[in-house]
Structure 1
């Protein structure tokens, strides 16, 4: 069974679309969905619990790493898939995950495209089809065997912004076999609505490079909040 774990912060609109979509995918009803809302989430998702037969939990601390760890503790699946609320998986989502595991991979990520037809965003998305500097970002939907995730002690909750890259770094250190599935997710381009393409990409590049050079999580978060205009974050799972 695959447990789809969705960290959420004021994501009602996206979840009302994503959850029924997941349930209607082939094999969707054979798997599990867990929504982990942030401590400061004001939307509430309890009504989705009975309507779509999903699990919902309200986290008592801050940070997406904490939310995903809490969801993982509640999950019952053999494979965990960490999906952002503003990301739509391909129709072959569950089959792709199960095939990757059967083929001997312990983990994997998906390539993606953006929901906006834009030349520069297509360039960004093209980098997700292969290993590179930005591999392992949360939008790529990490999936991983439950026992492997547990053996790695989950996400580092001290990482207030780069928890996905930190986890991937440990995956590589532990030589966890992984696959990049070339079945595109569709990722929201909403962060570009209040920030230019150049601003977002410079910020992302600096964060990844400085993370690799050992910058502290707190300083990375401050840099992120300084460089990017933040109104879009009110409705994002990236808090």
Structure 2
């Protein structure tokens, strides 16, 4: 039976992390290990991981480097990368294992906005599915793969943004990197905070700039600036 290592990058998001670790604790199938890579090196996060029996390690705050650090110590046959603010389906480990047993080397979950939902979600979800079919599924879709395939594909790029793009491209060259029908529920807080269409448009602009050769570090700084501006506008409203 395949064993799973769950790897979670975290940065000052202990409340969401606690909710995710609680979900993992009650899954029908138990992972071999849960690895939390903390970009804030927070004692609160470390204590939370001890409470749930998760492995905690500190890292500099760069998501790509955090994911690489977690993968480097993982012992499971399968690596499953999750964001801290995810809500899981009922039995995701079994769903992944069934696909892998049929010859897939990895894959990703269907993107679904969690509650509270708004009507734009009905348009954005199928648009994201179409983008993933012809483009790249991102880390908020629970990317998973056989550990050896991760190594052969070169792992995540050591970038703060778009770190999964070269990994997914290489995995698709290696074998069947498949889309699951099972949804993974994404916290809609960024869309609620910034506006559903505005956040979507800003995300697309970042992706287009990356595709045109802009450096991920520059784009990450631009993204942080957007968040600061959005927060300022909301506070002024």
Give the alignment of 1:119-138 within 5 angstroms: 119-130=119-130, 131-132=132-133, 135-138=136-139
Contact 2:5 2:80 in 1 (8 A): yes
The alpha carbon displacement at 1:144 in A equals 0.7
When the two structures are aligned, how many residues end up with a matched partner? 227
Deviation at 1:212, TM superposition (A): 1.9
User: What TM-score comes out, normalization by structure 1 length?
Assistant: 0.86
Seen in structure 2, the aligned counterparts of structure 1 residues 67 and 108 have a Cα distance that, compared at 3 Å, is same
How many Å separate the matches in 1 of 2:195 and 2:230? Answer: 14
TM-score (norm 2): 0.87
Give me the whole-angstrom Cα distance separating, in 1, the residues matched to 2:135 and 2:190: 17
1:4–1:32: 8 Å Cα contact kept in structure 2? yes
Secondary structure at 1:104 match in 2: coil
Aligned residue for 1:187? 186
**Alpha carbons of 1:186 and 1:37: their partners in 2 closer, same or farther (altered >3 Å)?**
same
1:73-88 aligned at under 5 Å gives the runs 73-88=72-87
- Which protein has greater RCO, CA pairs closer than 8 Å, 6+ apart? 1
Secondary structure at 1:4 match in 2? strand
Is contact 1:199–1:228 with CA below 8 Å preserved after alignment? no
- Superimposed CA distance per residue, residues 75-105 of structure 1 (whole angstroms, 9 cap, x where no aligned partner): 1100000000001121120111111110110
Runs of 4+ in 1 over 6 A off after TM superposition: none
Does the CA-based 8 Å contact 1:161-1:221 persist in structure 2?
yes
State the superposition RMSD in angstroms: 2.1
Give 5+ residue unaligned stretches, structure 2.
Answer: 232-237
